[in-house]
Structure 1
Amino acid sequence: MPTPTRESMDYDVVIVGGGPSGLSAAIRLKQVDPDLQVVVLEKGSEIGAHILSGAVLDPSGLDRLIPDWREKGAPVTTEVVDDNFFILGPAGQVRVPNWPMPPLMNNHGNYIVSMGNVCRWLAEQAEELGVEIFPGMAASQIVWEGDRVKGVVAGEMGLEADGTPGPMYEPGMELHGKYVFIAEGVRGSLAKEIIAKLDLSRGHEPQKFGLGMKEIWEVAPEKFHKGRVVHTMGWPLGKNAGGGSFIYHLENNQVLVGFVVHLNYANPYLYPYMEFQRFKHHPMVAELLEGGKRVAYGARAISEGGWQSIPELSFDGGVLLGCSAGLVNVPRIKGNHNAMLSGIAAAEAAAEAIAAGREGDRLEAYDAAVRTGAIAKDLKRVRNVKPIWSKLGLYPSLMLGGFDMWVANLTGWNPLGTWKHGKTDAQATGKAADFQPIDYPRPDGKLSFDRLTNVAFSFTNHEESQPCHLKLRDASVPIAVNLPVYAEPAQRYCPAGVYEVLEGPEGPKFQINFQNCVHCKTCDIKDPSQNIDWTTPQGGDGPNYPNM
């Protein structure tokens, strides 16, 4: 298809992504200089529609951005009052006392929140300051000027399934910025392109990921304990994979139930979604959920590489923010505070540069702020927990990782140095011949549910006539390579049932049900042949999370 003619608009700063990092950057830019022209592009149908997070919020980022957020009515009201950690077995649990844990693991002073609702509130604050926010505007392409990121293409809609313009085709617009902030979240398509083209990960460890799945439950009032936080490890994953769960009592008898599976697991027969469903049948969890009802479901990849996996964050014309940069603290299961702090730091660097008459260069002051400030302090102390877990398992990680965190917390020095991650999560996938299939119990429709039933509770919708946004680099690989060698794990690692292997008269066929996609990006990460590229569908499509 020939390149369409597009109109362009110029801004001081173009921000791709209406999550906590992008919105914090927009707010801070206008706080520093109200005359700056700032635009936020959000691919979801509204701000918050694609936000999925635990979430227990460390308010340090919000304190820095809007110190009077309480008076302004931020939806951050459920303070943690009860913090519990359990190691599960098949029929019971052992509580790990809080006292041996480093102080950084303490959740008191933090808040249980819906980050979707927090982002909706942040968007209101941004608009009051004069930020332009365009939801339903997927940024689908980078506008390059040599090796400089000059802007993005956003709002292209109406393509037919074969990629040609349909009768309602809109070419979208080029939005140019003196600086472009990439705040797409985990494994965004533009960030992936920029990191690869400019080799931003050179000299850094590969990024690691987990798959987080979450349901919101309304439970019986007598079982609800507002402000209670529960984390678990162990069963049902055992030695098959790293990971664990979270159970957060939010408000109005709603409990956030989540399960994280580290994507560096080897057994291609592992079925992360079914591990989550099986987890809910543990006696401790089942007792909480029985008599309640699930009201929402979603899934999202989580960056887990930590300090040693952070790429170069600035490049000519822009920066990477938040989860696009990989700023999650894995043992704390928190990244929203660092996302907000990264947005603030990038905004201050860009405002200073623009005031000095600069544009299109590297904001090296932002890189320096992240690598020497509060984000660095948060991530450096815990940098060995994930690689120790990956290499030695859960219990050595609790002991060795705990020791390393304690010393780092007291002295600022990690006695174990910096462990490396090694393989990517795709490379960690083993061959099917070396493993046995795992027999999972059928969902009962009360505590556990099949994938397609649950996807309906993500309120996902994609216009079916558009091109499939899940691109195969080689259409033959799923059946010719992944099926015989890896038992085609896409059938199992996708938490939304997007990928199927169908048997037909001419043999097996690989089918992509892109309408089900909840934009978790797991396929882009875990495919052992690295044959799947997740790209943005047209704007507004995807999940419509109410209060995730």
Structure 2
Amino acid sequence: MAELPGIERETLEVDVCIVGAGPAGLAAAYKLAELIRAHNESGAEQKLEGISIAVLEKGKEIGSHGISGAVMDPRGISELMPDWIERGCPVESPVTSDAFWFMTEKYKLAAPVMPPPLRNHGNYVVSLGELVRWLAPIVGEMGVDLFPEFAATRVLTDNGRVIGVRTGDKGIDKLGQPKANFEPGVDIKAKMTILAEGPRGTLSKQLAGLFNLYEGKNPQVYSLGVKELWQLPDDRYPAGTVIHTMGYPLDMDTFGGAFIYGMKDRIVDIGLVVGLDYRNPTLDPHDELQRLKLHPDIKKILQGGTMISAGAKAIPEGGYYSMPRLFGDGFMILGDSGGFLNGARLKGIHLAFKSGILAAETAFHALLSGDSSSAQLQEYDALFEASWAREELWSQRNFHQPFENGVLAGLFNAGAGIVTGGRGYGVANKLEGHAGHERMERIKRYYASDDPHPPAKVKYDGAYTFDKVTNVYNGGVIHEENQPAHLLILDTEVCITRCTEEYGNPCFHFCPANVYEPQPTADGRGRVPFLNFTNCFHCKTCDIMDPYQVITWVPPEGGGGPEYKKL
């Protein structure tokens, strides 16, 4: 987001600033407030009076940007709030049935036995957005200050220490000039800054560069989840029904699979997860989801239904060895930003809750000691290493890396890992991984032709299949149009020349929201992306998968973006 220089900014001082009001950030706020309250009521001599906790959320309201599968393991929320069911947490249904299908273009083969990581007995189908909408006022009742429409755009540092964040300016026009409604961003100074921004967090990315948080680690690898909600005319797909698939429409070089979850009120949640380490430079995850819905067995589920909502989100798949250093002077990193996701189970909500609990315990001790240095906050890492969250992630520490060599290699490794406690191919303690964009092949090599012709796109019928703009509309995406684009292309000359020739401009394909639209250059030398930035789902696929890494996603004006319902 553009930031005007030389502007006098208001400073807000708090004790703890949490960026992101998803499950990790809200759990951290709730648990920290609970620990402080219990401590002060215990009769302890040293009170923690007047402690201020602020939670910043870039969405229009808390829950606006909430999107996940989701089948939730209740372990995390049960630890945070044992009476969560009694307090009215809006679950869709306990899981009532599980199935796993291997798909070909026309047929399916149901597994006779569920793969252990995908067994969901005791879990719940939920909407992540509804979950955090329910949790937010409970957190507020604990004395936590919640600030929706506050997009944190920059980490504030002083002598190598994080001292807070700056929120984005509002009311800047597309030329970078202040409008009549201009509001400068606020500098929020904090003793501790806790980042719970979700996958590929902007501030987390800044910290990774400033403090080399991935030193000695594998790069984080992501998938993209694209999903839709369908309203069915009858009860053919009961709430709590869970199906996962692999195979069609993806090829055997591409990691991923589909999910179909039954929700309340005859709603079906259908989505496709595509590994953002694919080889094909023209792969289009949105189109692959549309193709999936034309499969006879999927079409049978959706027949007569209406697509009512859509969205997309990146998923951190790298596993234990792709987690950054989680702490430093004045900061901690939680949830998806910290890689707290089990790719084998396709689950992260329970781990997000747990990371928030551990960060809160660390922050509480730091407040008591008056010390938020790296030496003090390393307790967060120590607590994680001693926790069930670490045990779970360790057991799948090598799950994703072998999929770089294709689906069969990945499946062999997954099976071997189950019986050897997560060892790579059954023998290696740690398998190396690579950033996903590095695996993308040049278009002529991929198609083995000097004149490549990618396969035709899906023909959208408006009944089962829909174009990207329709899904953007159904995701409730709204941005202020007269503002600078929040997708920064470092060098458009790369787009016109090298990317067109070498990769065929993958951004025209991988973006699920039609943000990048091909436009001829004025001099006729090639094509350059026209940025329909107001379409953006905030999935950050462009930041992740651009082969030259010249695209940077930054937050737009606070309050802009999707307005997800039940996603």
What is the match of residue 288 of structure 1?
301
Is it true that 1:305 corresponds to 2:284 in the alignment?
no
Give the deviation of 1:140 after TM superposition: 1.2
What is the match of residue 16 of structure 1?
19
Is it true that 1:460 corresponds to 2:463 in the alignment?
no
Match of 1:536 among 531, 534, 555: 555
What is the match of residue 44 of structure 2?
none
- Aligned-partner residue type, residue 538 of structure 1: E
Is it true that 1:481 corresponds to 2:495 in the alignment?
no
Equivalent residues in 2 for 1:82-481, closer than 5 Å: 82-98=97-113, 101-102=115-116, 104-154=117-167, 156-362=169-375, 363-391=377-405, 393-408=406-421, 415-436=426-447, 437-481=454-498
Give the deviation of 1:361 after TM superposition: 3.9
- Aligned-partner residue type, residue 408 of structure 2: Y
**Contact conserved, 1:490 with 1:523, CA < 8 A, in 2?**
yes
Match of 1:518 among 517, 537, 550: 537
Give the deviation of 1:520 after TM superposition: 0.2
Q: Normalised by the size of structure 2, how large is the TM-score?
A: 0.93
- Aligned-partner residue type, residue 515 of structure 1: T
Give the deviation of 1:505 after TM superposition: 5.8
Give the deviation of 1:414 after TM superposition: 8.8
Is it true that 1:3 corresponds to 2:6 in the alignment?
yes
Is it true that 1:80 corresponds to 2:95 in the alignment?
yes
**Secondary structure of 1:426's match?**
helix
- The CA distance in 2 between the partners of 1:85 and 1:480, in whole Å, is 44
Cα RMSD between the aligned structures?
A: 1.6
Give the deviation of 1:421 after TM superposition: 4.2
- The CA distance in 1 between the partners of 2:413 and 2:439, in whole Å, is 23
**Contact conserved, 2:195 with 2:331, CA < 8 A, in 1?**
yes
- Aligned-partner residue type, residue 435 of structure 2: T
What is the match of residue 35 of structure 2?
32
What is the match of residue 57 of structure 1?
72
Structure 1 stretches lacking a partner, 5+ long = none
Give the deviation of 1:527 after TM superposition: 0.2
**Contact conserved, 2:18 with 2:53, CA < 8 A, in 1?**
yes
Give the deviation of 1:41 after TM superposition: 0.3
Residue range with higher mean Cα deviation, 213-222 or 256-265: 213-222
- The CA distance in 2 between the partners of 1:145 and 1:334, in whole Å, is 37
Q: Deviations over 1:347-372 (max 9, x none)?
A: 10011111112135451010112223
Q: 1:350 to 1:504 in 2, by over 3 A?
A: closer
Q: Normalised by the size of structure 1, how large is the TM-score?
A: 0.96
**Secondary structure of 2:528's match?**
strand
Count of residue correspondences:
543
Give the deviation of 1:397 after TM superposition: 2.6
Residue range with higher mean Cα deviation, 1-10 or 60-69: 1-10
- Aligned-partner residue type, residue 20 of structure 1: P
- The CA distance in 2 between the partners of 1:286 and 1:155, in whole Å, is 44
**Secondary structure of 1:33's match?**
helix
- Aligned-partner residue type, residue 456 of structure 2: D
**Contact conserved, 2:416 with 2:424, CA < 8 A, in 1?**
no
Residue range with higher mean Cα deviation, 90-99 or 400-409: 400-409
Give the deviation of 1:503 after TM superposition: 2.9
- The CA distance in 1 between the partners of 2:501 and 2:155, in whole Å, is 37
- The CA distance in 1 between the partners of 2:380 and 2:528, in whole Å, is 48
- Aligned-partner residue type, residue 382 of structure 2: A
**Contact conserved, 2:92 with 2:239, CA < 8 A, in 1?**
no
**Contact conserved, 1:240 with 1:267, CA < 8 A, in 2?**
no
Give the deviation of 1:506 after TM superposition: 2.7
**Secondary structure of 1:364's match?**
helix
Structure 1 ranges of 4+ moved more than 6 A: none
- The CA distance in 2 between the partners of 1:250 and 1:61, in whole Å, is 21
Q: Deviations over 1:362-419 (max 9, x none)?
A: 510101122231111111111222112222x22343333123123328xx99943334
- Aligned-partner residue type, residue 466 of structure 1: Q
- The CA distance in 2 between the partners of 1:81 and 1:368, in whole Å, is 37
Q: Deviations over 1:520-540 (max 9, x none)?
A: 000000000000000000100
**Contact conserved, 1:300 with 1:520, CA < 8 A, in 2?**
yes
Match of 1:66 among 67, 81, 86: 81
- The CA distance in 1 between the partners of 2:521 and 2:497, in whole Å, is 15
Residue range with higher mean Cα deviation, 36-45 or 167-176: 167-176
Give the deviation of 1:239 after TM superposition: 2.4
**Contact conserved, 2:243 with 2:259, CA < 8 A, in 1?**
yes
Q: Deviations over 1:123-182 (max 9, x none)?
A: 011011111001011111111112111001125211121223222111121111110000
- Aligned-partner residue type, residue 425 of structure 1: G
Q: Deviations over 1:448-474 (max 9, x none)?
A: 101111111011011111111000111
Residue range with higher mean Cα deviation, 382-391 or 13-22: 382-391
- Aligned-partner residue type, residue 509 of structure 1: V
Give the deviation of 1:76 after TM superposition: 2.2
**Contact conserved, 1:381 with 1:414, CA < 8 A, in 2?**
no
